[in-house]
């Protein structure tokens, strides 16, 4: 569904992503892991259209898209979340969700779908975003992705700052979203979440893809042990 080949992106002398390739389908949930500064978020920006690669290609549903703007890719079905918990502060949660639905639906339909989703996720409709705690804002972020009618969702550290029950809620609903036919890719540092959700993991370090495979395979890969886990023993990915 989503294929990237040879992606390269530099910022001045810093090579953030170097010759990275990956292939995403909707048959499993994918994880991307690596230390801070590995290039994971830059890769997400390249895939979602917030940055353009200096080299390489991106193909979605058989169509080359690396030159398309972010909103055009969203219209095609490539939707993402963001690390930063930022919503429109002057809007209520209901208005934020309705706005996400406007990508494909008229206002009345978008508002109806937003109300249904808010009820499902126990999101307070009339509360302003500035009054919500981080766990509820993460729920809104997940709900916004769903309301955009995605084919692929790129989740960027969506578990950050969550309590255990909040993280369990997110995991359950990400699984349900995947079971509905949506391809899922997760950048995440919470490793028990990665092992729980993901069946294929890509590992990045210093802008390069250094390993990929099932969780147990990458956990015992010497390159991963050296680059990502440091001096911790093999198998520590668990």
DSSP the chain: -EEEEEEEEEETTEEEEEEEEEEE-TTSEEEEE-STTSSHHHHHHHHHTSS--SEEEEEETTEE-TTS-HHHHHHHTEEE--SS----TTSBHHHHHHHHHTTTS-HHHHHHHHHHHHHHTT--SSSBGGGS-HHHHHHHHHHHHHHT--SEEEEESTTTT--HHHHHHHHHHHHHHHHTT-EEEEE-S-HHHHHHH-SEEEEEETTEEEEEESHHHHHT-HHHHHHTSTTSPTTTT-
- Cβ burial 73-105 (10 Å sphere, 16+ → b, else e): bbebbbbbbbeebebeeeebbbbbbbbbbebeb
Number of structural domains the chain divides into:
1
- In whole angstroms, give the CA distance from residue 3 to residue 186: 16
pLDDT digit string, tens, across residues 122-173: 999 999 988 999 899 999 999 999 999 999 999 999 898 889 999 999 999 9
Give domain status of residue 234, yes or no. no
CATH number of the domain to which 11 belongs? 3.40.50.300
In-domain check, residue 235? no
pLDDT at 189: 84
Residue 135 lies in a domain: yes
Please indicate, yes or no, if residue 238 is contained in any of the structural domains.
no
29 located within any domain: yes
Does residue 196 form part of some domain? yes
52 within some domain:
yes
Range of the domain at 66: 2-227
233 falls within a domain: no
Reported as a single tens digit per residue, the pLDDT across 52-110 is 999 999 999 999 999 999 999 999 999 999 888 777 888 999 999 999 999 999 999 99
């Amino acid at each position: 569904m989503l294929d990237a080949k040879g992606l390269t992106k530099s910022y001045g002398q810093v090579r953030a992503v170097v010759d990275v390739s990956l292939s995403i389908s909707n048959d499993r949930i994918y994880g991307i892991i690596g230390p801070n500064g590995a290039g994971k978020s830059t890769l997400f920006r390249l895939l979602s259209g917030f940055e353009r690669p200096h080299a390489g290609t991106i193909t979605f549903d058989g169509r080359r898209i690396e030159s398309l703007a972010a909103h055009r890719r969203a219209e095609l079905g490539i939707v993402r979340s963001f690390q930063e918990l930022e919503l429109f502060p002057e809007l209520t949660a209901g208005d934020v969700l309705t706005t996400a639905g406007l990508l494909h639906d008229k206002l009345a339909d978008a508002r109806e779908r937003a109300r249904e989703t808010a009820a499902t996720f126990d999101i307070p409709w009339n509360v302003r975003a500035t009054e919500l705690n981080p766990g509820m804002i993460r729920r809104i972020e997940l709900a916004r992705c769903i309301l955009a009618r995605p084919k692929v969702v790129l989740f960027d550290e969506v578990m950050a700052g969550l309590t255990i029950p909040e993280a369990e809620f997110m995991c359950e609903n990400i699984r349900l979203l995947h079971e509905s036919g949506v391809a899922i890719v997760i950048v995440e540092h919470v490793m028990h979440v990665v092992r729980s959700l993901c069946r294929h993991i890509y590992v990045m370090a210093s802008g390069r893809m250094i390993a990929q495979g099932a969780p147990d395979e990458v956990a015992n890969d010497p390159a991963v042990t050296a680059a990502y886990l440091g001096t911790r023993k093999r198998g520590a990915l668990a």
